[in-house]
Amino acid sequence: MPVSAAVSQISAGSVITTFILFAVLFTALLVAEISIMLKQIRLGPKHKEDIK
């Protein structure tokens, strides 16, 4: 493939903006996942008496 076919017309600003948005989105998802996991850890396992 020639280099001219591989070059994109997307500006560097668009690439940086997209990267930052993805980083913010996945960081928010990571924070949500960790908070849910910590909440479940604090609750602990269910006892046999609690399950009906």
Task: Give me the residue spans of the domains in the chain.
Answer: 12-43
Q: Note the pLDDT of residue 21.
A: 99
CB-CB neighbours of 32 under 10 Å: 10
Instruction: Answer whether 0.75 is exceeded by the pTM.
Output: no
pLDDT digits over 1-51, tens only? 788 788 888 999 999 999 999 999 999 999 999 999 999 999 988 877 766
Rounded to an integer, what distance in angstroms lies between the CA atom of residue 5 and that of residue 42? 55
Rounded to an integer, what distance in angstroms lies between the CA atom of residue 9 and that of residue 15? 11
Q: How far is CA 27 from CA 13, 37, 40, in A?
A: 21, 15, 20
